[in-house]
Chain A
Amino acid sequence: MEQEVVEAEIVLPTHLSFKRIQMYEKYPKSQSRSRHWKHLKQILQAENYQNYPPDEPTYVNIESPPSMHPCKRICDVTGYEAPYYDPRTNLRYANAEVFKLIRSLPNDYVQRYLALRNAAVVLK
């Protein structure tokens, strides 16, 4: 290791005196590094929230409901108010200038603009 790296101590030491079980003991190198954690979705499924009283606050039921306000539509490219919608690209646009632009955009850019609001075509 280079001198300046050692001096800055940016590398976490493998052995730390204050730990009862060291990292290399808990996750030995020889062992297969299979996944030993769950995604949030799996964690929430394992919580069995359906067994709890309905008035008890849980991670799932404190989520906000969908908005009740009328949705404000903005131009996907410029951010101005967008009265128009292009059925070919599914992009919203503010004026003729932007329309010209979106019609000349290559498809992957169109998809990236759509992905910003989670409306892109996703092939599974």
Chain B
Amino acid sequence: MPFISRIQRQSDYNLFPSTVPIVIDNGASYFRIGWAGETNPRVIFRNIVQRPRHKTTGETVTIVGDHDPALLKYFDCTRSGPRSAFDSNVVYQFEIMEYILDFGFDRLGANGSEIDHPVLITECVCNPVQSRSKMAELLFETYGVPSVAFGVDAAFSYKYNQHLGVCDKEGLAICPGFTTTHVIPFIEGEPVYGGSCRTNIGGYHITDYLKQLISLKYPHHMARFTWEKVEDLKMEHCYIAPDYALEARLFQKGAKEAEDKTRCWQLPWIPPPVEEPPSEEEIARKAAIKEKQGQRLREMAEAKRSSRINELENELHGLEFLLEQLEQVEEDDIPSFLSATGYLSKQEIESALLKVTQSLRKAKGEPKDDQAESEEKTDPSTNEKFPLVNIPDNMLTPEQLKEKRRQLFLKTTSEGRQRAKQKRSESELERERKNQQDEENRLYGENPELYLEQLRVKYKEISEKVEQRKRLKTNGNHTNGNNMSGSVGRGERLSAAQRERMRLLTTAAFDRGKGEDTFGARDEDWQLYKLMSKDNDDDDDGPDQDEAELTRISSRLQEIDPTFVPSSELGTSQPVEVPRIRPLTKEDFKIVLGVERFRCPEILFHPNWIGVDQAGLDEMAGVSIRRLPSMGEGVEERLTSSIFMTGGSCLFPGIAERLEAGIRMIRPSGSLIKVVRAFDPVLDAWRGAAAYAIDPQFLTQTFSKTDYYEKGEDWLRRYQVKYSL
């Protein structure tokens, strides 16, 4: 049940005589103000101030508390969020505090020239004197309050419930609030602050923890998790587990109870419109358009080709004509004739003619005669080794002739040797293969099952090996889903090429890092880049052998095993990568609260889960008892038999049972432990204060402006109201 602000302006302010005190419960989350002696505060609002700009007029305005978000649309709230006057549980920004008091008194209906009522205002335990004096000064100087009293909210709540008979006059008040949690022992109906303790954890931290956890779990919906919404979720769904470990294990196992305890929050989701498949006509129309376009392109290409052929033919005719004319021209007139045509010699014209005929042939699509090329194709290695063999005899000197004969002999013998060697190795390989085949056939014949099994194992081994090597080489691009950007993800090895590149880079950096940088001065330096850019080159023949073996085995397996399917046909052995973009479904808009429901409030008992190194709720009770000056067993017994919980964060279901179990662990066995919850953990502090302020003895506990200025800071520091009047 979310708290609801009550901010209607009260109209009966003038009906109260100036002796009736105004009671303010100034909590870190909510501000409550009302009249002494009444049972409920008149005005309640969140203790925050916003100072947004009005969108049309541009003036900065002050808005106190939380309001209908529909009204805030006229304001530009982006530049300043809601601000609180509290740091932990101490008021430190009195400008904000003043806005809040303004709003509170205004809504209470104040309309005189000053606030002519005594004021009782709550503060935290052991409030620093600086904060207390600033608050008193503000009330006296700005609002003209005649007298002021400060009290602790938890103590008022305890006293109120003591009157109701919920707790005894000796007991422990445990108050998990908004930013802090206090444990205060009460002896003879008075709080003993010497025995109290404070852990800086509260409802704020629980909400924040829940907000962070669900926004980490559902990063797409982060914008939905506003503070107010998460606060509502916390109040509606969170509970304290009797035993955290047991409860968590329940969820881990996915038990039926855990399923029942899981809550879902369905965000509004509209299914995307379903796209209809294109109709027959549509497809036909598209195909026709495509065909038409293709036809046009083909026609264009054809036209281009024919025009080119035309052009070339014209040129050819021109050149032929030129040559004919050249034949008829006198020897002496050739240069002058040539200069007129633009060619230098007859050879040039002929070469041009040749070129044109060739390109014409090409344009017409006739096969190019590659006679010229094949002629030049001779074995360069033999040519190099035996340079004289191919040279005619009549071009050589006698010594060279002798040399040539020697080379010829050498050449024939070496060629013969090579042939023999090749033949031998081939026959050897053949024999080996045959042996293997025989062996395998024999094995297959003897025990087909075993043989098949062995073959399968071998196949698996080799295929894994090949796969591995492939992965190492081409790592980084497609192997794993988690390094999508091509960078190397967590826990992944670099590929061989990447490793080599890294090594080159580091050695280059270390070599050159010493003196001045001379990289690039020498030409060899630039070779580095060539080396680096080399990627995935096959320089070892290991995998080839493996691959050959793999194909052999797989073919053999295919032969004899009808159920065998090569792994390459199955796809890679890696799990198929989930497509990154898939249509969002209703499930994606479902916020599931499982473990979070009890994990978040658990930080009250284990503050170190959010990095606060302090004792949790149950331990604090023990600390508090230990801190009390020793007063005998009886007192301790009485304290634990009246453990009283108040404050907003004690509303979680199951907290009382858990607290009882926790305190039982640190108390001697058999001691009486009773945990009770306040009648209304949220409002009882104000009610207690209102009941206290209506007592005629209340005025003796207040101090006036003159007291404040005359008695000094030391007095103010020691100032403490007596709760039992």
Complex-state Cα separation, A106 to B57, whole angstroms: 45
Chain B residues, CB < 8 A from A10: 63, 67-68, 71
Chain A residues, CB < 8 A from B87: 39-40
A38-B63 contact given A16-B102, A19-B102, CB 8 Å threshold: no
Q: Please state if A62 and B198 are interface contacts (CB–CB under 8 Å).
A: yes
Give which listed residue, B128, B490, B611, B614, contacts A47 with CB less than 8 A.
Answer: B128
Q: Please state if B130 and A46 are interface contacts (CB–CB under 8 Å).
A: yes
Chain A residues, CB < 8 A from B489: 104
Q: Please state if B142 and A1 are interface contacts (CB–CB under 8 Å).
A: no
Chain B residues, CB < 8 A from A5: 71, 74
> B241-249, B457-465, B524-532: which lies at the A interface?
B241-249
Q: Which residue of chain A has the shortest Cβ distance to B197 in the bound complex? A: A64
Give which listed residue, A36, A56, A112, A117, contacts B610 with CB less than 8 A.
Answer: A117
Beta-carbon contacts under 8 Å, B585-632 to A: 595-596, 599, 606-616, 619-620, 623
Interface size in chain A (residues, C-beta < 8 A): 62
Minimum distance in angstroms from B428 CB to a CB of chain A: 51
Is A90 on the interface with B (CB-CB < 8 A)? no
Q: Please state if B95 and A27 are interface contacts (CB–CB under 8 Å).
A: yes
Interface size in chain B (residues, C-beta < 8 A): 80
Give which listed residue, A18, A46, A74, contacts B248 with CB less than 8 A.
Answer: A74
Complex-state Cα separation, A20 to B245, whole angstroms: 58
Q: Please state if A12 and B63 are interface contacts (CB–CB under 8 Å).
A: yes
A74-116 CB contact bits vs B (8 Å, 1 = yes)? 1000111100000011000011000000011000010011011
Which among B68, B106, B144 has the highest number of chain A CB atoms within 10 Å?
Answer: B106
Q: Please state if A59 and B126 are interface contacts (CB–CB under 8 Å).
A: yes
Minimum distance in angstroms from B347 CB to a CB of chain A: 72
Q: Please state if A59 and B127 are interface contacts (CB–CB under 8 Å).
A: yes
Complex-state Cα separation, A108 to B614, whole angstroms: 28
Q: Please state if A67 and B616 are interface contacts (CB–CB under 8 Å).
A: yes
> B107-115, B354-362, B495-503: which lies at the A interface?
B107-115
Q: Please state if A117 and B128 are interface contacts (CB–CB under 8 Å).
A: no
Give which listed residue, A16, A27, A117, contacts B106 with CB less than 8 A.
Answer: A16
Chain B residues, CB < 8 A from A67: 606-608, 613-616, 619
Beta-carbon contacts under 8 Å, B193-211 to A: 193-194, 196-200, 209
Q: Which residue of chain A has the shortest Cβ distance to B599 in the bound complex? A: A79
Is B555 on the interface with A (CB-CB < 8 A)? no
Minimum distance in angstroms from A105 CB to a CB of chain B: 8
Complex-state Cα separation, A78 to B594, whole angstroms: 9
Which among B63, B92, B620 has the highest number of chain A CB atoms within 10 Å?
Answer: B92
Q: Please state if B216 and A1 are interface contacts (CB–CB under 8 Å).
A: no
Complex-state Cα separation, A81 to B144, whole angstroms: 58
Complex-state Cα separation, A78 to B92, whole angstroms: 38
Complex-state Cα separation, A77 to B185, whole angstroms: 38
Q: Please state if A20 and B491 are interface contacts (CB–CB under 8 Å).
A: no
Q: Please state if A65 and B615 are interface contacts (CB–CB under 8 Å).
A: yes
Complex-state Cα separation, A60 to B344, whole angstroms: 107
Is B61 on the interface with A (CB-CB < 8 A)? yes
Minimum distance in angstroms from B431 CB to a CB of chain A: 52
Chain A residues, CB < 8 A from B114: 18-20
Complex-state Cα separation, A47 to B132, whole angstroms: 12
Beta-carbon contacts under 8 Å, B133-151 to A: 141-144
Q: Please state if B194 and A57 are interface contacts (CB–CB under 8 Å).
A: yes
A48-60 CB contact bits vs B (8 Å, 1 = yes)? 0000000111110
Q: Please state if B197 and A62 are interface contacts (CB–CB under 8 Å).
A: yes
Is B19 on the interface with A (CB-CB < 8 A)? no
Is B252 on the interface with A (CB-CB < 8 A)? yes
Q: Please state if B90 and A18 are interface contacts (CB–CB under 8 Å).
A: no
Chain A residues, CB < 8 A from B115: 18
A57-B92 contact given A20-B142, A78-B595, A80-B248, CB 8 Å threshold: no
Q: Please state if A19 and B199 are interface contacts (CB–CB under 8 Å).
A: no
Complex-state Cα separation, A1 to B56, whole angstroms: 8
Give which listed residue, B128, B141, B209, contacts A44 with CB less than 8 A.
Answer: B128
Q: Please state if B611 and A117 are interface contacts (CB–CB under 8 Å).
A: yes
Q: Please state if B615 and A64 are interface contacts (CB–CB under 8 Å).
A: yes
Give which listed residue, B9, B125, B129, B614, contacts A65 with CB less than 8 A.
Answer: B614
Complex-state Cα separation, A11 to B63, whole angstroms: 5
Q: Which residue of chain B has the shortest Cβ distance to A118 in the bound complex? A: B611
Complex-state Cα separation, A42 to B441, whole angstroms: 91
Is A17 on the interface with B (CB-CB < 8 A)? yes
Minimum distance in angstroms from A72 CB to a CB of chain B: 6
Q: Please state if B616 and A1 are interface contacts (CB–CB under 8 Å).
A: no
Complex-state Cα separation, A109 to B616, whole angstroms: 28
Chain B residues, CB < 8 A from A104: 482, 489-490
Minimum distance in angstroms from A92 CB to a CB of chain B: 11
Minimum distance in angstroms from B622 CB to a CB of chain A: 9
Minimum distance in angstroms from A29 CB to a CB of chain B: 9
Complex-state Cα separation, A94 to B251, whole angstroms: 12
Q: Please state if B248 and A79 are interface contacts (CB–CB under 8 Å).
A: yes
Chain A residues, CB < 8 A from B62: 11-12
Is B88 on the interface with A (CB-CB < 8 A)? yes
Contacts A43-B128, A43-B130, A115-B212 known; list 10 others, CB within 8 Å: A8-B67, A12-B103, A16-B106, A18-B111, A43-B131, A58-B126, A67-B614, A80-B251, A81-B249, A109-B216
Closest 7 CB pairs of A and B: A118-B611, A79-B595, A40-B87, A57-B193, A79-B599, A12-B62, A64-B615
| Interchain residue pairs with CB less than 8 A apart (22) | A12-B99, A17-B110, A17-B112, A18-B105, A18-B112, A21-B141, A37-B95, A40-B88, A59-B128, A62-B126, A64-B198, A64-B615, A67-B606, A67-B613, A68-B615, A71-B606, A74-B609, A79-B596, A79-B599, A95-B252, A103-B482, A116-B212
